[in-house]
Amino acid sequence: MSFTAVFVTTVTLFIIGSVIIANAFLTNALSELESKVDVNVYFVTTAKEGDILALKTRLESLPEVAAVEYINREQALKNFMERNKDNALVLQSLEELGDNPLGALFNIKAHDPSQYAGIVSFLDKQGSDVLSGEASIIDRVNYADNQVIIERLSAITRSTRELGAFIAIILIAMAALVTFSTIRLAIYNSRQEISIMRLVGAGNSYIRGPFVIEGVMYGFLAAVISLIIMFPATIWITRTTAGFFGGINLTSYFVSNFGQLLIILLVCGVLLGMTSSFLAVRRYLKV
């Protein structure tokens, strides 16, 4: 029964540790997806650089904005030519124009995809008459082109996090109940010893003490075993998911956060074993 109690507690703590690591992987994956979404602001070719930089300063002051990348006209042309270096017709057309037809642009990244709508609303209000009193310096904003993707990504991100939290709570609760039942059964097998101790006058605290300490030992041993099992598991997962979403290195995450994981699992294991033993003795053996 002691072996069974340690085994079940180990499974419970392994699930808790796996939930922590899975949350790190999920957070990294979602962040990687979110980082690929941005909004581009294209300026008219006659826009003054001072007005553009003034708008950039205002954008960067918004709490929703994570970063604003400014690409001037010359760099925009170089980037365009690089993307179309194999298209002779496009390059010939640029040569015939004899002038740079592209305006400067911003690449704007928000902290959360749901915040792009507010940023675009700000651009609608501030894009014109920034400093010079002239017509709008903004040619167009490509938010409408990406709006469906941004909204879907926001919904997927929100749903995934909520579903992940719900599943984690269910798994941990089920594992904790199984652990409690196993420890209760282990203590139930000692009911004759408890009855004898009561007959010779032992108090409740004296009787509970050994079982609570035993539960603490279950939790401590299970925490150590679960960490030992978790290390090769993270190596395997790292190799399996190396090409996904930029590939978070779960092995490095495990090593760098080993102390934190050890403390969390030790605390959870000790509390789970101690509480289960205490309640089992109190409620089921009528001590």
| Final residue before a domain boundary, out of 136, 171, 198 | 136
pLDDT of residue 260: 86
8 Å CB contact between 141 and 123: yes
Spatial separation of the C-alpha atoms in residues 33 and 163, rounded to whole Å:
18
Q: Is residue 39 part of a domain?
A: no
List the Cα angle 265/268/273 in 5-degree steps. Answer: 120
Residues 88, 17 share a domain? no
| Final residue before a domain boundary, out of 82, 106, 136 | 136
8 Å CB contact between 164 and 80: no
Where would I find the H helices in 65-142?
A: 73-83, 88-97, 116-126
Q: Is residue 225 part of a domain?
A: yes
Residues 254, 114 share a domain? no
Residues 157, 17 share a domain? yes
Residues 246, 163 share a domain? yes
Q: Can you tell me whether residue 41 is helix, strand or coil?
A: strand
8 Å CB contact between 276 and 188: no
> What CATH number should be reported for the domain holding residue 99?
3.30.70.3040
Total of domains in the chain: 2
Q: Which domain holds residue 168?
A: 2-33+153-284
pTM for the whole structure: 0.59
pLDDT of residue 26: 74
pLDDT of residue 131: 44
Residues near 261 by beta carbon (within 8 Å), at least 6 away in sequence = 17, 20, 227, 230, 254
| One-letter amino acid for residue 176 of the chain | A
List the Cα angle 151/29/235 in 5-degree steps. Answer: 165
User: Rounded to the nearest 10 degrees, how much is the dihedral formed by the CA atoms of 17, 243, 149, 162?
Assistant: -10
Give the DSSP letter string of 215-230. Answer: HHHHHHHHHHHHHHHH
Q: Is residue 38 part of a domain?
A: no
105-110 and 65-71: which strand pairing? antiparallel
- Tell me the sheet residues that pair with 71: 105
Spatial separation of the C-alpha atoms in residues 286 and 267, rounded to whole Å:
27
pLDDT of residue 130: 47
Write out the H or E segment, with its range, that includes residue 68. strand 65-71
Where would I find the H helices in 189-203?
A: 191-199
pLDDT of residue 132: 46
pLDDT tens sequence for the chain (287 residues): 677 777 877 888 888 888 888 777 777 777 776 667 778 888 888 888 888 888 888 888 888 888 888 888 888 888 877 877 777 777 777 777 767 778 888 888 888 777 888 888 888 776 544 444 556 788 888 876 666 776 776 677 677 777 777 877 887 777 777 777 777 776 777 777 777 777 777 777 777 788 788 878 888 888 888 888 888 888 887 777 666 555 567 778 788 888 888 898 888 888 888 877 777 776 555 54
